[in-house]
């Protein structure tokens, strides 16, 4: 029997003894009348008034001997010492033998300070709220690796307040974005997660079977084409914050299911979008972190300074000597080999060649700034530039050597859109699984007319970058490979 099993056996024995005494181990209600944070804030006043306090929380430490016992109890965000004295608590005699670190208890008593000045609660009576049958990591062996932390994320959060604070900030991050858009009269909407034709991005989808309709469906890779249908429908500015699913590789910056925000703004173009996005990023940074300055990887970033503009074609030419508007697939592939850039040879084509070259070029661009002037082959859903139809009106936020959001003047010409879809279909036939599918229903919607529109999307990767952590570290429960039984 290993250590954990032995500890569990001892705790089960304690639980049986409590049950034999008529103690309810898992009651449905607690009479807690104040959070520990509030108790500490009002400690002086409530101790003078002899206010009756009912604390509830988890036992995190236990010590004492003879007729006195000290427990450290933690609730949602704070902790307090509670003190059992034999002369003050009728249930002291058996209480000291049944508590374990990890138990949830309720304690009723009065506030006082110990001789060392520690704010404490003198217990008059107590109640078990939930008996812990397994030891917490710190008292057993602790987390030895990242996989253990992710598999038992609830314990990782419990034992590490810094991890918990990450997710408090993440909630504020999304709420700040939501409030920013609502304050500017954007309407929040919801669009389908299950689709018959996945679209709106270059990505490989997850697929499943819809039993009721007896048809194959896909988990969405973007809400874009649905949200643009709302522009056709005459909606005002709209946005959606929701889950996205992409069946592709995992690394420090990418997950397969994650939260993303997309907004669509009628009668606006990509220049309007860049102004709004810069304002939004600055507001979120200030509200969530109280600063514009961040250390991200090896970069020192100041979101408060004037944002730069980077030309896609010129940047690649400057860093590699390749003019992507003139080069062909073979010449770019040769350059990839020269630069020792690894790339996926499956479905390799001119678009993927340029993309791999750009990923090499972006890695030392600190930002903040906007990447513009991307070739039309790279973006099948963006409007062509009027002064150069080889390029599109697309912008991407560049931050710490990576892209942190993408937007463009949306393509609203149905004939041009259908031709772009046809080009994507050819790429799929040649093995490019991330090339976009033809959505005839969307093209038909465009035929009814869609106003000039700016769209933009950003995923939770931005939050991970601001935290300077991998995206898995900033995900509550990242997907893990199934453990072998």
- Residue range 152-202, pLDDT digits in tens: 899 999 988 899 999 999 999 999 999 999 999 999 999 999 999 888 888
Compare 237 and 328 and report the one with higher pLDDT.
Answer: 237
Tell me the CATH number at 416.
Answer: 3.30.930.10
* Maximum distance among all Cα pairs of the chain, rounded to whole angstroms: 89
Q: What percent of the chain has pLDDT over 70?
A: 98
For residues 302 and 262, state if they share a domain. Answer: yes
pLDDT at 217 over 70: yes
**Which pLDDT value is given to residue 180?**
98
Q: What band does 446 get if pLDDT is binned at 50, 70 and 90? A: very high
pLDDT of residue 246: 92
Lowest mean pLDDT among 101-110, 181-190, 415-424: 415-424
Instruction: Kindly indicate the confidence band of residue 144, based on its pLDDT and cuts at 50, 70 and 90.
Output: low
Distances (CA, A) of 52 to 33, 35, 40: 9, 13, 14
What pLDDT sits at residue 452?
A: 96
Same domain, 31 and 105: yes
Q: Would you state the pLDDT for residue 339? A: 85
Residue 99: closest CA among 186, 213, 18: 18
The secondary structure of 27-38, three-state, reads CCCCCCCCCHHH
* 162 and 123, same domain (yes or no): no
The Cβ-side half-sphere exposure at 24, using a 13 Å CA radius, reads 8
Q: What are residue 70's DSSP bridge partners?
A: 63, 83
Of 107-111, 268-272, 374-378, least confident by mean pLDDT is 374-378
pTM of the model: 0.90
CATH code: domain of residue 126: 2.40.50.140
Predicted pLDDT of residue 142: 59
The reply to whether 472 falls in a domain is no
Mean pLDDT of the chain: 91
Provide the domain limits for residue 253: 157-307+367-467
Quote the pLDDT of residue 485: 59
What gap in Å lies between CA 107 and CA 337, rounded to an integer?
A: 68
pLDDT band for 143, please (50, 70, 90 cuts).
low
198 and 66 fall within a common domain: no
pLDDT in tens, 53-94: 999 999 999 998 888 999 999 998 899 999 999 888 877 777
Q: Which of 378, 357, 349 is nearest to 201 (CA)?
A: 378
Is 339 within the bounds of a domain? no
Judge if 99 and 16 occupy the same domain.
Answer: yes
Same domain, 187 and 67: no
């Amino acid at each position: 029997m290993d250590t954990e099993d032995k500890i569990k056996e001892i705790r089960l024995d304690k639980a049986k003894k409590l049950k034999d005494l008529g103690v309810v181990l898992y009651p449905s209600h607690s009479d807690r009348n104040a959070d520990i944070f509030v108790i500490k804030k009002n400690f002086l006043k409530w101790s003078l008034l002899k206010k009756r306090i009912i604390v509830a929380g988890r036992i995190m430490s236990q010590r004492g001997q003879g007729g006195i016992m000290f427990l450290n109890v933690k609730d949602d965000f704070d902790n307090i010492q509670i003190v059992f004295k034999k002369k003050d608590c009728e249930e002291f005699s058996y209480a000291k033998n049944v508590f374990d670190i990890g138990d949830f208890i309720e304690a009723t008593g009065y506030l006082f300070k110990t001789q060392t000045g520690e704010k404490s609660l003198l217990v008059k009576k107590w109640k078990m709220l939930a008996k812990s049958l397994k030891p917490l990591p710190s008292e057993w062996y602790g987390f030895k690796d990242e996989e253990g932390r992710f598999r038992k994320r609830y314990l990782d959060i419990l034992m590490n307040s810094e991890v918990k604070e990450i997710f408090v900030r993440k909630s504020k991050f999304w709420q700040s974005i939501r409030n920013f858009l609502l304050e500017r009269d954007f309407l929040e909407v919801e669009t389908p997660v299950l689709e018959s034709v996945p679209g709106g991005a270059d990505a490989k989808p997850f697929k499943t079977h819809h039993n009721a309709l007896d048809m194959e469906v896909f988990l969405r890779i973007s809400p874009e084409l649905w949200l643009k249908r709302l522009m056709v429908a005459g909606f005002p500015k709209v946005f959606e914050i929701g889950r996205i699913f992409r069946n592709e590789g995992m690394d420090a910056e990418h997950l397969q299911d994650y939260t993303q925000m997309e907004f669509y703004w009628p009668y606006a173009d990509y220049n309007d979008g860049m102004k709004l996005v810069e304002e939004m990023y600055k507001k979120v940074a200030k509200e969530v972190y109280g600063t514009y300055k961040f250390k991200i990887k090896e970069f020192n970033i100041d979101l408060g300074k004037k944002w730069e503009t980077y030309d896609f074609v010129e940047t690649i030419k400057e860093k590699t000597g390749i003019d992507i508007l003139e080069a062909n697939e073979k010449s770019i592939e040769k350059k990839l080999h020269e630069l020792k850039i690894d790339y996926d040879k499956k479905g390799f084509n001119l678009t993927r060649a340029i993309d791999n070259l750009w990923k090499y070029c972006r890695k030392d661009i600190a930002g903040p700034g906007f990447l513009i002037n991307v070739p039309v082959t790279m973006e099948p859903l963006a409007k062509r530039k009027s002064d150069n139809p080889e390029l599109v009106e697309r912008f991407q936020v560049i931050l710490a050597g990576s892209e942190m959001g993408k937007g463009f003047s949306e393509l609203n010409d149905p004939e041009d859109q259908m031709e772009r879809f046809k080009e994507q279909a050819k790429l799929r036939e040649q093995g490019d699984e991330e090339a976009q599918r033809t959505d005839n229903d969307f093209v038909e919607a465009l035929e009814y007319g869609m106003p000039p529109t700016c769209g933009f999307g950003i995923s939770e990767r931005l939050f991970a970058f601001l935290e300077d952590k991998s995206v898995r570290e900033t995900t509550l429960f990242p997907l893990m490979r199934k453990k072998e039984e």
